[in-house]
Amino acid sequence: MRTVQLPCGEKVPALGLGTWKMGERGGDKSKEITAVRTAIDLGMTLIDTAEMYAEGGSEKMIGEAIAGRRNEVFLVSKIYPHNAGKANTPVACERSLKRLGTDRIDLYLLHWRDRKPLAETMEAFQKLKAEGKIRHYGVSNLDTDDMEELWGVAGGPLTQVNQVYYNPAARGIEFDLLPWQRKHRVPIMAYSPVDQARLAGDKTLAAIGKRHDATAAQVALAWGLRQPDSIVIPKAVRPEHLKQNVAALDIKLTAEDLAEIDKAFPPPRAKKRLEMT
Ligand SMILES: NC(=O)c1ccc[n+]([C@@H]2O[C@H](COP(=O)([O-])OP(=O)(O)OC[C@H]3O[C@@H](n4cnc5c(N)ncnc54)[C@H](OP(=O)(O)O)[C@@H]3O)[C@@H](O)[C@H]2O)c1
C-alpha cells in the first residue's frame, strides 16, 4: 500500500475506507463487517468513522470488525462540534473508544466548525493526546480562513490533516485551501471521492477508464490519488468495489487523461466557499 506521511512523520495508507451510512439500523451488519475486514486484508487499513455516523452505529460495527486486529488498523474518528468543548470532549471520546473497543483513537478530528472557539477544542484535544486516548488530532471541513485562524491557536499547528470534500466534480479547494495546506504541509484527506457513487456513471471518466481497462469510479479514485500528499477514503461495502478501489492505486493517469478531466470538470478560477456533503 502506498503511504502518505503525516506532519508528525508517521506514514498512513494513501487509500482508506470510509464508513458513513454503515452501522445503520436495518443495514446489513454482517456484510459491513466483512467489508471492513476485506478492506484491511487488501491493505486499506486506515478506517474513517465518526460519532455522527449512525449515531455511534458505525463505530460499533467497526469495533466488532477489528476485534483481535486492532494493531493492524489506523482508526480515524470525528467529534461533533457540539461535543468539542472542554467539558464534553473527554466524555464523547470515551464513548467512541468504548464503541470502537479500543483504548486509543489514532486520529481524532473536529467534524466541522461551529461557533466554539478553536482554542478550546485544541486544548481538549491536547489533553486527550497527553492522556494517550488519541494519538493525533486534526480537523475536517475547515476552509482557508479557518486554517489560518487555527495556526494562531495553541496546538493548532499540530493538526495532522484537514478532511474535506474533494473529487473531480468538487474541486473548489484547489483555488486556495489546497495550496495553503501544501505550504503548511498538512495532507488533505479527500472524502466522497466518487461523489457518493455519482461519478461511477460519468461518461468522461468512463471513456478515460476504457484506455486503462478501468471503471469510471476507479478513474475518479486514481485522480484523487495522483497527488502524493492526499489520502483518499472511499466508502464501499460491495466486495467488487473494494477490490476495484485498491486496483485504482495502479492506474497512472496520463497528461491527456488529466486534460480531459480538466475540460469536463474545470478547476476553480476564483475562491468558492468550501463545499460539504
Ligand atoms: N468529514 C465529513 O464531513 C465527511 C463527509 C462525507 C463523507 N466522509 C467520509 O468519507 C467517506 C467516503 O465518502 P462518501 O461515503 O460520502 O462517498 P463515496 O466514497 O464517494 O461514495 C460511496 C458510494 O460509492 C460506491 N462505490 C465505492 N466504490 C465504488 C466503485 N469502485 N465503483 C462504483 N461504486 C463505488 C459505494 O457503493 P457500495 O457501498 O455499495 O460498495 C457507495 O455507494 C465516508 O464514508 C466518510 O467516512 C466525511
Residue 103 lies in a domain: yes
Catalytic residue check, 191: no
Residue 270 lies in a domain: no
Per the structure, the complete domain to which residue 21 belongs is given by: 3-194
Residue 45 lies in a domain: yes
Residue 212 lies in a domain: no
Assigned C-alpha cell, 64: 466488532
Q: Residue 191 Cα, ligand 1 centroid: separation in angstroms? A: 7
Residue 244 lies in a domain: no
The total number of structural domains in the chain stands at 1
- For 39-77, write each residue's pLDDT tens digit: 999 999 999 999 999 999 999 999 999 999 999 999 999
191 three-state secondary structure: strand
Beta strands in the chain (DSSP E): 3-5, 11-13, 17-18, 46-48, 74-79, 105-110, 134-140, 162-165, 188-191, 230-232
- For 198-210, write each residue's pLDDT tens digit: 999 999 999 999 9
Out of 58, 189, 191, 244, give the residue to mutate to test ligand 1, the one with the largest number of ligand atoms within 8 Å of its CB.
191
For the residues 29-41, what does the mean pLDDT come to? Answer: 98
Residue 247 lies in a domain: no
Q: What is the CATH number of the domain that holds 164?
A: 3.20.20.100
Residue 66 lies in a domain: yes
